[in-house]
Amino acid sequence: MNKNFIFLALSAAVMAVSCEKDNNSNVIDSDVDLVGDITEDRTLEQGQTYTLTGGLHVKAGATLTIQPGVTIIAQDDDQVDYILIEQGAKIDARGTASSPIVMTSSRKEAGAWGGLHICGKAPINAGTDAKSEIGDASYGGNDPHDNSGTLQYIRVEYGGYAFSEEKEANGFTFYGVGDGTTVDHLQAYGGSDDGFEWFGGTVNVKYLVSTNNTDDSFDWTEGWCGNGQFMIAHQISSECDALMECDNNDNDNMASPISHPVLSNITLVGNDADGRGVRLRAGTQVELYNAIVTGKTRTLTTETEGTESALADGTSKLQYVYLSTSISSDSDNVIYTEEDFLAADNHNEINYSFSLTGNYFGTIDGGFDATGLGSFFESASYVGAISADNDWTEGWAL
């Protein structure tokens, strides 16, 4: 064979391999640490393990794709590790029930790293210069349908890193996230701050599990107006605070938009310690249906004039809510009473004795059909989040 021909053929092959490598440069190799700014689309490959060695910011215009089975391990060192999706950026993280995405730390302790943070452009009531507690990124805007991407079948473990007394990272934090974002099948496990927290926004959520996060299991503020269905909180440690801490705005209780999430099929199980279950305050509104609240000495408390007035006049609704203790108020001027809560058309119960298995399995027949609340909601005419014969946590949640 002609030697010149052989040389040309080999050169072409090398060039082809080189071009193929360049065309796939958006794939992050499993031996490359995750840190710094992502300014163009990147993919974490299925089943691979990656090390997070500091703050990772996905910048506007870029998408971080995380394939099923990916494990991200925050390195235990003197660097602050967290993942932050900035305004205009997206995350496309779609695990599966059999192959979830796991974000964890090499140090298996609460507060080991900073968790996952999403910043969107949906309305908030905290002004026009709001910055995320972690990463100092802007959030909020005027687009309720803003799309920050997709989060499905993800477990965040051991979050809650404390930057200061005022700034602690949650497992999942949603800053002004819009309802164009898809959020379902997430677990926040073993963190030292809140499991899930919403700072305003309109994002809808479904199939959430908050397990032994030692501040609040679920927390909202700054005008969150999304929908939620099938949400579980389970607290074990005596350090755990409220099962749900629910605010509008501490500085201005009536700041607009007023927090008004619509939630159905909720199971909240406390640590049998002194404390609150659902704490409604700081002007928040809420519609809460088909809820089980147990394991706290005060399973439902209300406070502030705005919050109690909205309950009294029907703007807020508590229906088919079953409590292991009674309702109480921390307001100086009590507007919403236990008698209001127990009105016949609310179908609520107090001092109810629950029969739950496996920490939070079990429902009560005869609940509210949430499909009447809108197309987001699935048919589940029972009280509680998870029935004994339909374990939607199997395979992906601890």
pTM: 0.93
Residue with tokens 């060192």: 77
Sign for the pseudo-dihedral over CA of 209, 134, 51, 18: positive
The whole-number pLDDT of residue 18 equals: 40
Split at pLDDT 50, 70, 90, the class of 113 is: very high
Our CA dihedral for 133, 137, 141, 144, rounded to 10 degrees, sits at: -80
Of the candidates 182, 190, 109, the one whose C-alpha atom is nearest the C-alpha of residue 155 is 190
The whole-number pLDDT of residue 28 equals: 74
Radius of gyration of the chain (CA): 23
Q: Are 93 and 154 in contact (CB under 8 A)?
A: yes
Question: In degrees rounded to 5, what are phi and psi of residue 307?
Answer: -65, -45
pLDDT tens digit sequence for 164-176: 777 779 999 999 9
Which CATH number applies to 32-383: 3.90.550, 1.10.3470, 2.160.20, 1.10.1740? 2.160.20
Q: What stretches of 203-286 adopt beta strand conformation (E)?
A: 205-211, 218-221, 227-234, 244-246, 262-280
Split at pLDDT 50, 70, 90, the class of 2 is: very low
Maximum distance among all Cα pairs of the chain, rounded to whole angstroms? 98
- Here the tokens at position 36 are 């710094």
pLDDT tens digit sequence for 190-230: 999 999 999 999 999 999 999 999 999 999 999 999 999 99
Mean pLDDT for 372-380 is 96
pLDDT tens digit sequence for 48-57: 999 999 999 9
What are the structural domain ranges in the chain? 32-383
Q: Are 385 and 267 in contact (CB under 8 A)?
A: yes
The whole-number pLDDT of residue 31 equals: 63
With 80 as the cut, is the pLDDT of residue 147 above it?
A: yes
Rounded to a whole number of angstroms, the distance between the first and last alpha carbons of the chain is: 63
Q: Tell me the pLDDT of the chain averaged across its residues.
A: 92
Q: Between the CA of residue 39 and those of 63, 137, 284, what are the distances in Å?
A: 8, 15, 37
